[in-house]
Structure formats: C-alpha cells, structure tokens
Amino acid sequence: MKKWQFWLGVLISTVFIWLSLRGLRLNDFWSTVQKANYIWLIPGIGVYFMGVWIRAWRWHYLLGPIKKIPTKTMFPITTIGYMGNNIYPARAGEVLRAVILKRKEGVPVSASLATIIVERIFDGVVMLAFVFVNLPELAKLTSASGFVGNIQQAAVIGTGVFLGALGVFLLAAMFPQVTAKIGLWIIKRIIPKGLHIKTIGIMNKFLDGLASLRSPFNVLMVFLTSVIIWLLETGKYWFVMHAFNFNVSFFALMLMNGIVNLATTIPSAPGYIGTFDAPGIAVLTAYGVDQATAAGYTITLHVALWLPITLLGAYYMAREGLKWSDSLRMEPEK
C-alpha cells in the first residue's frame, strides 16, 4: 500500500466512482436494490463458473506443448489467479497462478506467463469484437450524445494495440529461431553482462510458452474458446438482468461486457472498483435504463462477479497451504 501505483489506482477508482454516481438519487437506488429478485444470481453464477472451467481448459490447451496437465488440475490454479486479480493491484493474480503452477507442476514461470499473455490478447480481441458488432445499434440510440464517438475511438485504438500484439506473438511463435536471435542481440546491448545467461534462459522458456501458436488450428481453437468464454460471461449479465425491472437485448449486454472489461485494463484499486461500474452504468443509460436501475444492476453484477470466484480462490489457496505473505514471491527459474 506504500507504492505510488496503488494510490494512483485508488485515485482513478475514486474518479470513476464519482462519474458513475453523480446525480444519482440514493433513495431510488436503494429502492431498486431492495426490490431485486436475487434468485436469478444463482444460474448466473453457475454459467460464470462454466466459463471459468473453460478458461482452465484453454490454459491447459495452451500449455500442452510444454506439459500435459489435466483441466481439473488447472481449475483451482485458475480460480486462485482470478482471486489474486480481485484483491491485489496490477492484475498480480496472473503472476500468482504462474508461480503456483511452477510449484505444483514444475512449469517455468516465464513459459506460463507467455501463455497467460496470449490468453489476455485473445480476450482483448474478443472484447473488441463484441464492441464492434454492436456499435451500429448503440449509435441509433445515442448518436447525438458523443458517447458512441468516444467508444469508437477507444475501440479503434484498442484494436490496433491488441491486433499488433497478437501479430508480434504469432510471428515470434512461428519463427522462434529468428526471434531468439533478435532477442539475443537486444540482450547483449541493453542487459548487464552478468545477467545475460539468466535473461537468455528466461527468453527461451518464454518462447517455449508460445509453441501452441505455431499451429493455425490451435490459434483457431483458442479464439473460438475465448468467444465461448465471453458469451457465457454475457449469459451471467443476462441472468442478473432478470433480477431487476428492465430489459435490453443480449447484444446490448455483449456491448456492455466488452466495454466494461476493456475499461478494467485501466489501472484502478483492487477489484476494478469504479472502472467496471462507471462504463457499465453509462452503457445502460444510453439504452434508456434509468440511472438508479442501471446503478443497482451494475453494482450487483460487479459483486456477483467478484465475490464467488474470490471466495473459491481463497479456499483453494488455503488448501494448497499458501500464505498471503509469500504467495506472490517469484521463485527462481531452473
């Protein structure tokens, strides 16, 4: 908590909370929350955990060229990682699951991190696809507000970033020897000589983690799996919507899902406080949902997304005998 990055995240979250709640009548908000039918959260949480299981399968698939690990082994580690993302700043849960995988299965941390970065790139591509598919519908509703223009601009920038990163990783995977030579040239010129051997070893293991991308079929499988994962998460949005007194299309919820998850890449306080809520409320109000209902739904959805996976991840972490004090301590590569 002494690090400036943490306090910057808190400041950004505070700004987003203010943006999401300004003008909100608290009486209307509490009335909306009290009248909600929370039984709908049960199937929503069930659908979400189906998506988490598929995430574990996707990670098992990406790690296949390095080591075959059953999905049932990957699932607890995946939940621990998502718990870490929810309670640690800067998505430290991604490092956490790579460290735990090394302890349990001996997979090098750098190789695991390569597959995790690939996951995130594909997730970003799918999120942007959700946004682009539904922009025309939103434009009809809010063409004069400037809201759509802002989304379009962000989507174009995001598309360039994610597709550029995907292109770099695909080239690195398809031409590992060329990539290694370029990496070696860079290491010798910018890394102190005493760290050359260690850095080269990490680079080689990182490139090993990209091995699954050398097959076009594997790339297609990872992409399709990512689409299914995010459609299931949108299914949770749909179920939770039925707890409240409003109705928008599944495509509108796809758009909301894409926008809020892209917004959560902005640094914030742990748990994506504010960066999830403000854009979610904005999307729903653009579709004509009153602010109190939009706020009640979005905040309830945020809690339903955050709490179950955090509790399950904490359970698995305790079962592994990991301590909070050393859970993120990076172990040396072997």
Q: Give the span between the Cα atoms of 282 and 293, in whole angstroms.
A: 12
Q: Give the span between the Cα atoms of 209 and 156, in whole angstroms.
A: 29
Q: How far is CA 145 from CA 139, 141, 306, in A?
A: 9, 9, 31
Q: How many CB atoms lie within 10 A of CB 31?
A: 13
The answer to whether 128 and 159 are in contact (CB under 8 A) is yes
Whole-prediction pTM: 0.88
Q: Give the span between the Cα atoms of 207 and 331, in whole angstroms.
A: 19
* pLDDT (0 to 100) of residue 333: 55
Using the 8-state DSSP alphabet, how is residue 331 labeled?
Answer: P
* pLDDT (0 to 100) of residue 269: 80
Return phi, psi of residue 80, to 5°.
-60, -40
* pLDDT (0 to 100) of residue 323: 67
One-letter amino acid of 264: T
Q: What tokens does 223 get?
A: 């992409």
Q: Give the span between the Cα atoms of 200 and 78, in whole angstroms.
A: 28
* pLDDT (0 to 100) of residue 145: 47
The answer to whether 327 and 317 are in contact (CB under 8 A) is yes
The answer to whether 149 and 296 are in contact (CB under 8 A) is no
Q: What is the pLDDT along the chain (334 residues), one digit of tens a residue?
A: 457 667 777 788 888 888 778 888 888 899 999 999 999 999 999 999 999 999 999 999 999 999 999 999 999 999 999 999 998 877 888 999 999 999 999 999 999 999 999 999 999 999 888 888 887 776 666 554 445 556 667 667 777 888 888 889 888 888 988 999 999 899 888 988 888 888 888 888 888 888 888 889 999 999 999 999 999 999 999 999 999 999 999 999 999 999 898 888 887 888 888 889 988 998 898 888 999 999 999 999 999 999 999 999 999 998 887 765 555 555 555 5
* pLDDT (0 to 100) of residue 188: 87
Q: Helical H runs in 242-268?
A: 250-263
* pLDDT (0 to 100) of residue 147: 52
* pLDDT (0 to 100) of residue 224: 96
* pLDDT (0 to 100) of residue 301: 97
One-letter amino acid of 213: L
The string of DSSP letters for 113-134 reads HHHHHHHHHHHHHHHHHHHHHH
* pLDDT (0 to 100) of residue 30: 92
* pLDDT (0 to 100) of residue 302: 96
Q: Give the span between the Cα atoms of 276 and 13, in whole angstroms.
A: 9
Q: Give the span between the Cα atoms of 126 and 131, in whole angstroms.
A: 9
